[in-house]
Amino acid sequence: MKKICFVTGSRAEYGLLKPLMSLFKNDKSFKLQVIVTGMHLSGLYGSTYKVVEQDFHVDRKVYMPLEDDSASGITKAMGKALEGFADALKSLKPDLMVVLGDRYEILAAAQAALIYGVPLAHLHGGELTFGAVDDAIRHAITKMSYLHFTSTEVYRRRVIQMGENPQRVFNVGAVGIDNIRDMKLLSKHELEKELNFKFGNKNIVITFHPVTAELNTEKKTFSALLKAISELKDTRIIFTYPNSDPNNRIIIKQIDDFVKNSAGKAGAFKSLGQLRYLSALKYADAVAGNSSSGIIEAPSFGIPTLNIGSRQAGRERAKSVIDCANDFSSIKKALQKALSSKFKESCKKYGNPYEAKGSASRKIYSLIKTNINSLKTSKIFYDMRPK
């Protein structure tokens, strides 16, 4: 029996991994191992490890202090995480570790796996986000990984360009699309009851994270966004809290102050979870902010995305995504376009480059099963032949 270990650091990421984890849980030829870390274990972000425990046995909890959101505090938290992953891998001894994305806690997990000789399977490699340090973290994880599951063909080619053997790089589509296709979303009434929030004639879902490649810009940018949405009439706002990146507390305070003064027209949530978040997108007129979900998942609902600033610069995007600068006038103009009847109607016709035929999770499951007996940690750099 092969031991396959999944690492998850946030509820959003867990929502993407859950269908794939379930496939391995139900396969008697595998022993599923689960490590939770990062925001899952913080009360500030809703202690969402409890959600994971409802679905799976959690084998290890790797704590990392997130109270200090400065660069120094997060760097020290990464050190604590690395120590915790060392203990976890020494005990669990998995045959394969599966990780998704580009978070610093995932980098710590990948580093530990590399030293312990545990092969890595990496989801969502090859993507670009020029406005975040996540860009470099993602590529570093790619170079430590043996199997690669990308979300588009462009990203597959980029992973190969980084020296990875094409025979181990697979374009499967985005796993988040599986949930949109397969999950039974809540009705509007059910969602309003769950959130204790009443939808209006127009509704916007906002997720805004610090731009880690441009620290100390978040307060000014988010203030401009808040000013722009405050001028909207008959519009209700759902905020989700930012990631545990440097200076995230600045954004959290701005959100809480705005909601407090909104007379019930706005609500803030530490973590919606996959079901409630996707259900909110179903009834939203637009999403706004700088989250990857606005680029990857939102277009599949046929709604506009207002993408602010440089955090997601470099990602492939649908025509339904409006990119704008981070000043008030640019945001206001882009919001007007996103909420216009003409543009909203056109978004229903645009495709999503992250959608692929079939289930991404099932493709990954099948490919891991096929390759599980030939996994290695040592690799030879793949040189692309000049054309």
Which of the 8 DSSP states describes residue 377? Answer: S
Residue 235 has pLDDT above 90, yes or no: yes
Q: What one-letter code names the amino acid at 72? A: S
- Name the DSSP letter for residue 132: S
Distance CA 301, CA 101 (A): 22
Q: Which fold has domain 187-347?
A: Rossmann fold (3.40.50)
Q: Please determine whether the domains at 2-173+356-374 and 187-347 fall in the same fold group of CATH.
A: yes
- Amino acid (1-letter code) at residue 44: L
CA-nearest of 301, 316, 293, 21 to 158 is 316
Average the pLDDT over 79-93 and give the result. Answer: 97
Tell me the pairing of strands 169-171 and 202-207: unpaired
Among 46-50, 122-126, 308-312, the range of highest mean pLDDT = 122-126
Q: How far apart are CA 67 and CA 59, in angstroms?
A: 24
Dist. CA 116–CA 114, nearest whole Å: 6
**Is 80 exceeded by the pLDDT of residue 253?**
yes
Predicted pLDDT at 49: 95
What confidence score (pLDDT) does residue 344 get? Answer: 96
143: exposed, middle or buried (C-beta count within 10 Å: 0-12, 13-18, 19+)? middle
**Radius of gyration (Cα) for the chain, nearest Å?**
20
pLDDT of 385 above 90: no
CA angle 330, 176, 26 (to 5 degrees): 165
The arrangement of strands across the sheet holding 305-308 comes to 266-269, 235-240, 202-207, 286-289, 305-308, 321-324
pLDDT at 62 over 90: yes
Main-chain dihedrals φ then ψ at residue 107, nearest 5 degrees: -60, -45
300-340, pLDDT tens digit by residue?
Answer: 999 999 999 999 999 999 999 999 999 999 999 999 999 99
Q: Burial code of 80-108, b = ≥16 C-beta within 10 A, e = fewer? A: ebbebbbebbeebebbbbbbbbbbbbbbb
CATH 3.40.50.1970: does it fit domain 2-173+356-374? Answer: no
pLDDT for res 245:
83
Give pLDDT tens digits for 209-218: 988 777 778 8
Q: How far apart are CA 275 and CA 314, in angstroms?
A: 28
Q: Pick 225 or 11 by higher pLDDT.
A: 225
Sign of torsion, CA 154 155 158 164? negative
How many angstroms separate the CA atoms of 197 and 272, rounded? 13
Kindly list the domain boundaries of the chain, sorted by start residue: 2-173+356-374, 187-347
Alpha helix stretches (DSSP H) within 93-187: 104-116, 134-144, 153-161, 175-182
- pLDDT at 387 exceeding the cut of 70: no
- 20 touches 358 (CB < 8 A): no
pLDDT (mean) for 274-288: 96
Written as one string, the DSSP assignment of 181-212 is HHS-PPPHHHHHHHHT----SEEEEEE----T
